[in-house]
Structure formats: structure tokens, C-alpha cells
Structure 1
């Protein structure tokens, strides 16, 4: 029997999960429990070609996980019969010291609690998910895998903010970077696709989903990334602002009278594409642009402008770039975003093949012109598989 790893991603009101065979790379099952704590919660499990959906109240994360295991049992997929070897937990922020896959124990949970101020929207739900899953599955190793790990060793010039040094040290303020599991996985997949040693490649990886980030990777090691102390910095995202003058925050606090909590909520949940246009689905944004919607057009233009700035900056940071890779929901599926992000960059060595870019293919593929010195790829990310394989390095 192939061993499996149950990968959990616990949010404040949801639990996403996937049962993965790390050796073969096969996803045996996946699903999500949404709107936890709501009277209209929902749960979905996809297993062996079957889809099972439940619409019922789910009081808390413990109830969500129990419901998940009930759904497995309902389709004949008892975890004890599926070779479960470990449970892997995605943890967004590992702070300055947690950057390797780590077995869960009371000491680790205490450290994660201490890191809550660095990621108040992400780490507390992750800790809750870990505690609940550990109680329900006490006899299986639980492993925390950190989203910040890949960027732990950024060069000091990239990781350091130009603020008071003593203050930064006291409060552990630096560029941590996020989506690291995805950037690591995709950069290695790009090297494999090109049949080239990863040590020989300079890469730009563009992880474009509801959350979005860019990275510059030289010889398999990241040298810069767009997200910073928190996942709010960098590219324009679905509901997050990305880069913003810090003076805006002081202005909103001092002059507009906004509370810090309200400013934080605005930057996280009511900014980005949603803040500019009221929409985060790029399919709808494109439709609205075609109908002449000026707000949608502006939101899209701001998104593309920021993306192109980062591509240009990372071309300069790397000196030369062998491959640019698009990944995640928007990056993998939106040909227009890819085209607009790279249009006019032929003098810098990047040229798309329009036919390949417009192809509806879903797997890893090249979309650059044959004459393009820089290869452009689309590679589906698979953070669940990467987390599952990271768990094996520990157990």
C-alpha cells in the first residue's frame, strides 16, 4: 500500500485538506469545510471520482475535522486503511527561527502562539487546526511546514528594511516572504521541465492567485521576493493592497480617525482588485472591461502595472534571467494577464508565442517564442504535494 499524508490548511473559518501519496505524487482525495461557525456551513470531499457534499452547521474546527473524517468513511475511505503516515500542517509564518519542517509538540505550539502578532490573521487558525487534528489523530506524526521557510536565507540586502536597526531587531522586523512552498516547488519543476540543473538557472516565479507574490531565484536560492513582514506587501492581490506608502496609514489614523484594526482590515480584506472594482474573479473583471466598465479597467491596469514593475526589478536583480514562470489560479489560467505582463519586453529577452499562450492546456508548458532568449513557462503549483514530501523528510 502506498503511504499517504493528510495535508491540512486551516483558516479562520475554513479547513482545506488533501490526502496525498508523496511518493507517486497522486492526490487521493481533497476537500474543504467552509463557513465554520456559521449556520450555513458546507463541506465537500472529492475521493475516487466521487463528490460528496454536506450543507449543515459546523460549530468549530473540531467539528469540521470530524465531519471530514465522516465523509471519508461515507465513501469507504477510512484513513486507517489508506496508509496514513503523517499529517502535514501549512503554517504561514515561522518567524526568524522556524524554517524547517518540524514535528509538532507542545513546545512548537507555544512558539507558534508567540508568533501570532507577526501573522494575526493566519497563525492562530493554523495553531487551532494543529491542536484539533492532534487530538483526533494522536497516533500519527504531525508536521508543521512553514510558508516563510524558502525565503529564510534571503541576502541581507533583500531581507532588511531601512528602519531603525535596534527597533527592527527587537521586534523581529524583516522581509520574511510567503508562498515559499509554492515558489520552491515551481522553481524545481521548471528546472525539471527544462532538463537543466537548478543550480544553472536564474528564475523569476510569479505566483498569481487571490494572494500574489513574485520571487527572484538564482541557482535554486531566492535572492528577493515581493511579500515582506506580512503577506500584504508587494503585488496587487485579490483583496490586499500590496505596496503602499506607509505615510498613507499614518494619514488614515491621524487625519481620517481610523482605528488601527480598521486600517488593517481595509488593507487585508477591502483593497486590491476588490477595493478598486468590487471584484476578485478575473473572468468577471475581463467581462466588465469588455462592457466598458472604467473601474474594472483601472483595477486591471493597476494590477498589470505593479506586476510589470516587479518583473523589471527582478530582471535587474538577477542580471540575466533564463526562465519566467507563471503559476497559481490567475497565472495558470489567464492568458491575457500573462500577455499584458510581458508585452513589449522583447528587447529585454522575453517574447511570448501568442498561440502557445492562448492554448487551453492545463499541464506544465512553454509559452515563449522559439527565438525568445528567456523561456516563459506555465507550471501548475502543488503546495499540498510539496508539504507532503516535506513531512517525509521529518518522519
Structure 2
């Protein structure tokens, strides 16, 4: 039996799990208070602190380190990579420590995995990292040569949904053509064809969501940026965590919004229905890239639990293809299944080369 340690560091927690094959032994989320994280100047400095907590909790669950076959972590903010597995190596750890694409808690995951795995003499991997970017050249182009569209976003969950759909329909991933919408605090939509995520509408340019402002009228954005007293961090907070439902309705909880709608709140209904239509429009944007020849449209993420939302989206887009719903997101299982594909020889892990992949 393959036993995998799964790591998924977030801004205020470190999730860890142990899987025996496809079966979870335990899953836990270690919470980190602001006071605990305050002494660290940057995310990379948290590495030792989080590693020791992981080891402590494994001991509490009576998991022998020697029983582990491999370690799989959520990928950090590397330069653009391909989908699938990468073996964690010294180049990757250097990149995440010295020159990550941005500060993010996921950067320490590979560091922890590499440290523990090296001690044990077992492999460590990342899988479907945040910075997977497989956009085709034509899909990168914008109206300014200095700005390209990017594929960075909810790759782990959307690709897991596409792989699940392929398995359910008895086909290989490379043989299905699907649009996948991740419906969460941020919303992104991507197109999977011939084994690649060839187009991607991320949560900075796509539909507004519970937290994100999504695509905005550009002239108004420029004007807002130059208002007196406006700082870069203020604008980033506005569009990343204070936009969408939060800006309009004062909450990021879609369940509360639906309660308000059920109680007769017409304004809440208007905003929520606008978000649903926005999602559908962005699904539609990706269909021309394959001339509308789609096997399915997949809806996943936390908000996909809502029948109000999924029925609304389906009403708008079902003329394109059947809509299949995979509610929720199970990143730990997705990471585990990715690691198992490598261990079982179904997939070969790629090698990250700093000199080749770094944009620095």
C-alpha cells in the first residue's frame, strides 16, 4: 500500500493529510494565529515553524515517518509551469525561497516536503500548481504587447474535475473537451482540450465573485487608481477581497445571500443573478475556441453546492453542452491522486530547472 503525506499550506493554516492509496487515514487543519505568524518577515521564514508543526501532528496521529512512500504538496508561486506532477528538487526550493513569483503560503509546502522526504529517502512532488499556464499563443495576446493573459488560478480543482469527468465517461483526459468553472471565493473558468488547459479566464478578468471584483471597465479603474490618497495596496484589496458580493451586499457568504433572496430582498436577487449571468457569459467566451464542440461544461467549487446557482448557470449555457456538477473541492484528495499516478507509473513527474524556467 502506498502511504502519502499531503501538504497544503494556506495563509492562516497548514492542512495535512495521510492517505493509504486512495483512502484518507486522517485530514487535519493546523490553524496559525496572527500572533504566531507575526515574527516572520516573509513566507519563506515560516518554513521551519510549519515543518515542526507537521511533524508534531504526525506524531500525535501515530504516523511513523518510515511508513511514508512519498510526499505531495500544493505547488507554490513558481514561474509558469505545466500541469501535472513535478518532482521537488533543489532548484524548486531555491526559486520558492529566493525568487517566488509572489508571496504566498503555498511556497513553503515544497520546502517542507523536500526536507522531510530527503531525510527519509523518498520522493516528493507538487501537483497542478497554482502557476500552471498552458495557454496557447493566440490565447495570450491582448491589446498591449507588454501585457499577456495568464493561466494562473484554480488549476488543481478544475483539472481534478476534468480528470474525474474523463474517468466517469471511460475516456482519457486528453480525449475530452470540457469547460470547467471553479465557483468559490474567486471564480475562474478554463478550457481543457487534448490534455492541456489551453485557455483560462482567471479571477482578475472574469466574473465577479463573493470576494473578487472580476473584470471591470478599464477607464474607470485607471481613474480610480489616480484618485488622491489611493494606494496600490488599497486598490488590490478592493478588487481581491472587497469586491463582488462583499462590495454590493456586505457578505461573502452565498448562503446568506440566498436566505435574503428567499426573504424577498430584490436587490440581493439582482446582484446574485448578475453574478450567475457573469459566470455564464465567461463560460460562453471560451466556447468559440473549440467552435462550440464541447463534451461537457463542469461546475465545481464550494458554490456549486447551490442549486440556485447551478440551475441558473445551466439555464444560460446548456445549449452549448451538457452541464455536469461536481460540488465542492477536495484539494487534498486531488493531490493524493496526482501522487499516486506518478507512483503507479501512469504519469511521469517533470523536472523543474531554475535556469530554464525562471523569468528572473
TM-score computed with the length of structure 1 as normaliser: 0.73
Q: What's 1:337 paired with?
A: 309
Pairing of 1:304-323 with structure 2 (within 5 A): 304-318=276-290, 319-323=292-296
Relative to structure 2, which stretch is displaced further, 27-36 or 195-204? Answer: 195-204
Of 119, 123, 131 in structure 2, the residue corresponding to residue 141 of structure 1 is: 123
CA spacing shift, 1:97–1:219, aligned 2, 3 Å: closer
Summarize deviations over 1:174-221 as a string: whole Å, max 9, x none: 412322222222112112212245444321112112232111223433
Cα displacement (A) at 1:282: 1.6
Q: What's 1:119 paired with?
A: 102
CA spacing shift, 1:194–1:136, aligned 2, 3 Å: closer
CA spacing shift, 1:147–1:241, aligned 2, 3 Å: farther
Relative to structure 2, which stretch is displaced further, 92-101 or 314-323? Answer: 92-101
Alignment of 1:131 with 2:111, yes or no, is: yes
How many correspondences in the alignment? 333
Pairing of 1:265-304 with structure 2 (within 5 A): 265-304=237-276
Of 128, 133, 136 in structure 2, the residue corresponding to residue 155 of structure 1 is: 136
Preserved contact between residue 72 and residue 78 of structure 1 (Cα < 8 Å)? yes
Preserved contact between residue 6 and residue 88 of structure 1 (Cα < 8 Å)? yes
Summarize deviations over 1:314-370 as a string: whole Å, max 9, x none: 233322222111112111x11110111122556x25xxxxxxxxxxxxxxxxxxxxx
Q: Which has the higher contact order (CA 8 A, sep 6+)?
A: 2
1:232, 1:119 → 2: CA distance?
16
CA spacing shift, 1:119–1:232, aligned 2, 3 Å: farther
CA spacing shift, 1:158–1:105, aligned 2, 3 Å: same
Please, what is the CA RMSD of the aligned residues?
Answer: 3.1
Pairing of 1:62-211 with structure 2 (within 5 A): 62-75=48-61, 77-80=62-65, 83-96=67-80, 101-113=85-97, 116=100, 118-120=101-103, 122=104, 125-132=105-112, 134-135=114-115, 138-139=119-120, 140-148=122-130, 151-152=133-134, 154-164=135-145, 167-168=146-147, 173-211=148-186
Cα displacement (A) at 1:146: 4.4
Preserved contact between residue 212 and residue 237 of structure 1 (Cα < 8 Å)? yes
TM-score computed with the length of structure 2 as normaliser: 0.80
Q: What's 1:13 paired with?
A: 12
Of 238, 243, 249 in structure 1, the residue corresponding to residue 215 of structure 2 is: 243
- Which runs of 5 or more residues in structure 1 are unaligned? 41-58, 350-373
2:190, 2:82 → 1: CA distance?
20
1:151, 1:193 → 2: CA distance?
26
Alignment of 1:384 with 2:332, yes or no, is: yes
Summarize deviations over 1:279-299 as a string: whole Å, max 9, x none: 222211100122233553243
